[in-house]
Chains A and B, each alone.
Chain A
Amino acid sequence: MRPGRRRRSLAGYLTMPAFLAAVLLALWAWVNAQTLDSIERRRANMDFIITATREHIALTFTSTLIVLMISIPVGIMLTRPWARGITPPAVAVFNIGVAIPSIGLVTIFALVWDLGFWPMVAALVAYAALPVLRNTMVGLQQVDAAVIESARGMGMTKRAVLTKIEMPLAVPVMLAGIRTALVINVGTAALATFIAGGGLGGILVVGISQGRQLLVIVGAVLIAVLALLIDYLAGLAEDVLRPRGL
């Protein structure tokens, strides 16, 4: 048995939010000290940033939720003994999304389907489905066969073994996959601005195309802070959801 990770102290919990708040404050103070030209003012302003952040969060959470709804059931199914034959081709299908560069994937969805929120969500789902699927499968496969054997010996049904033994034991590995998916989606959602999907990428793209360093920094810092914040929240969820004694 590996030793259980200790839960953090209160101060440990507060470090990350305090750090992120300090970064945002420093960014705000720095931008305020600059003289902004008209282009910078149109993107580095609170209204735009708040709208873009809301869109960015909506893209990230919707896509990750859909990833969970697809990848976890499929991952469970593929680890059942009867599915052994179809596992390699099924995993290969999930691999396609990751194999295509994200900008290409977004463009494909925009050209063959539509523009806006949902095509971007679909692209993000295709991109982040694999880590969750992989971790679900690995999480279930690493459960000690002897434990399952003894549960069966005690007269538990297959369903009960899955929900009461396998799933709880797989949770830490699965949660790690979900965190990966969330962080991938925060970053990739920056591309939504190319296909009328909104998000914080709109600040970054103007910064790059119009040669405004300030906007590049603002956009990049905001996306990074959002990624760290979401990862932190996922970490909290992990602490809560991880079964006691693991």
Chain B
Amino acid sequence: MYYWKRIAASAAVVALALAACNGDDADVAVGDDIEEELGDLTITVGSKEFTEQRILGQIAIVALEAAGADVRDETGIEGTPAVRSALETGEIDLYWEYTGTGWSAILGHEIAEAPTDTQELYEAVREEDAENGIIWFDPAPVNNTYAIASAPGVASGLGVSTLSDYADLVRDNPEEASLCAAAEFLVRDDGLPGMEETYDFEMPSGQVEEMELGIIHTRLPQSDPCNFGEVFATDGQIITNELEVLEDDQGAFPPYNLAVTVREDVYDEAGEALEELFNPITAALTDELLREMNARSADDPGFEDEIAEEFLRDHGFID
């Protein structure tokens, strides 16, 4: 395993050296006009601290570099409030944000009042945030919302495939419906309380096991101490542990679509070219793709830039 990694690494070094001789390691495939406009741009890319955000940050960096921009990497900022204030104060120029987070954490609305329609929520957030001088590019099909999952065979064995089925299970047979969740999911309106309201059930407190998010991942595959657990829709572990994800058939969880957010002065400088660069990339990002990228990164952390580059190459954004 290690042996092969070394060979791969050496090959990568040779490839990079060759690319360097050509002047650049990648080129944007879409339009020379973008390269012309972004060629003189100096831009700082940020991201939050978790895997998915680091990968997204690298996707932005690789794409911008390929377009000839001079990019500074400020990815991995801890927490939404910190990365957002970095954007507002100009420490970073752009990062990927989620529409649901924009609505609740950034604009300070009650999540229960969020539009349940993807596009409506996006429009609402985009319009209101424009007053703060932040521009939202087009949203991705990715919806990184909360989800309930079980180990392979557990949910299907209990006849559960949707959250409506799960609500029935809680009512009829609560011992089988035990749920592992982190504190955040248990207290947020868009977490368990919202799910209970939409599906009209009440989780008996004895069937809820509160724990750290990172511990859920280690216990859910063994169905111990609970049959079901909180995950995120784009969690890499859904693939690595072959988890069964329940369908949110009545739309309890609000949409969390991804979009690039930039500050107004950056938008004024090169907004059209940036949109032309990012909108097709954003449109290609799906839950499945992000799950795969997250799973790869979980297996082999620290290579987010390679994962990002491969994604852009596979989809023809760079050559």
Contact = CB atoms under 8 A, between A and B. Distances in A.
To the question of whether A and B form a pair in one complex, the answer is: yes
Nearest to B111: A38
Interface in B217-271: 218-219, 224-225
B193 interface: yes
A195 B205 CA distance: 16
A17 interface: no
Contacts of B183: 193, 202, 205-206, 209
Contact of B184 (A111, A114, A194, A206): A206
B124 interface: no
Choose among B81, B183, B215, B219 the residue with the greatest number of A CB atoms under 10 Å from its CB. B183
B193 A42 contact: yes
B215 A38 contact: no
Contacts of B209: 115-116, 196
A110 interface: yes
B208 to A, nearest CB: 9
B49 interface: no
Contacts of A210: 184, 187-188
Nearest to A195: B211
Contacts of A205: 183
A131 interface: no
Given A194-B211, A194-B215, A196-B211, A115 B187 contact: no
A196 B187 contact: no
B193 A110 contact: no
Contacts of A111: 215, 218
Interface in A17-54: 37-39, 42-43, 51
A39 B185 CA distance: 10
Interface in A194-235: 194-196, 198, 202, 205-206, 209-211
Interface string B200-218: 0000010001111001001
A110 B209 CA distance: 13
B215 A115 contact: yes
A211 B219 CA distance: 27
Contacts of B184: 206, 209-210
B186 interface: yes
Interface in A43-73: 43, 51
Contacts of B212: 194-195
B110 interface: yes
Contacts of A211: 81
B187 A39 contact: yes
Contacts of B187: 38-39, 42-43, 206, 210
Interface string A103-114: 000010011001
Contacts of A42: 186-187, 193
Which interface class (under 10, 10 to 19, 20 to 34, 35 or more) fits B? Answer: 20 to 34
Interface in B283-312: none
A110 B215 contact: yes
A38 B189 contact: yes
A37 B110 CA distance: 9
B189 A193 contact: no
Contacts of B210: 193, 196, 198, 202
A194 B112 CA distance: 27
Interface in B103-119: 110, 112
B225 A115 contact: yes
A37 B112 CA distance: 12
Contact of A115 (B81, B110, B205, B219): B219
A194 B81 CA distance: 23
A194 B184 CA distance: 12
Max count, chain B CB within 10 A of own CB: residue among A111, A196, A206? A196
Contact of B188 (A39, A107, A194, A195): A39
A232 to B, nearest CB: 30
A211 B105 CA distance: 10
Interface string A128-156: 00000000000000000000000000000
Contacts of A195: 211-212, 215
A114 B211 CA distance: 12
Contacts of A206: 183-184, 187
Interface in A91-113: 107, 110-111
B207 to A, nearest CB: 12
B59 to A, nearest CB: 27
A107 B183 CA distance: 17
Contacts of A193: 183, 210-211
Contacts of B219: 115
B110 A38 contact: yes
A175 B30 CA distance: 76
Interface in B81-104: 81
Kindly list the 10 A-B residue pairs having the minimum CB-CB distance in the complex, ordered from nearest.
Answer: A196-B209, A194-B212, A196-B211, A42-B187, A39-B187, A206-B183, A38-B189, A205-B183, A206-B187, A195-B211
12 contacts: A38-B189, A38-B193, A42-B193, A51-B205, A111-B215, A115-B219, A193-B211, A194-B215, A196-B210, A196-B225, A198-B210, A206-B187
Given A111-B215, A114-B225, A115-B219, 14 more contacts: A38-B189, A39-B187, A39-B189, A42-B187, A115-B211, A115-B215, A115-B225, A193-B210, A194-B211, A196-B225, A202-B210, A206-B187, A209-B183, A210-B187
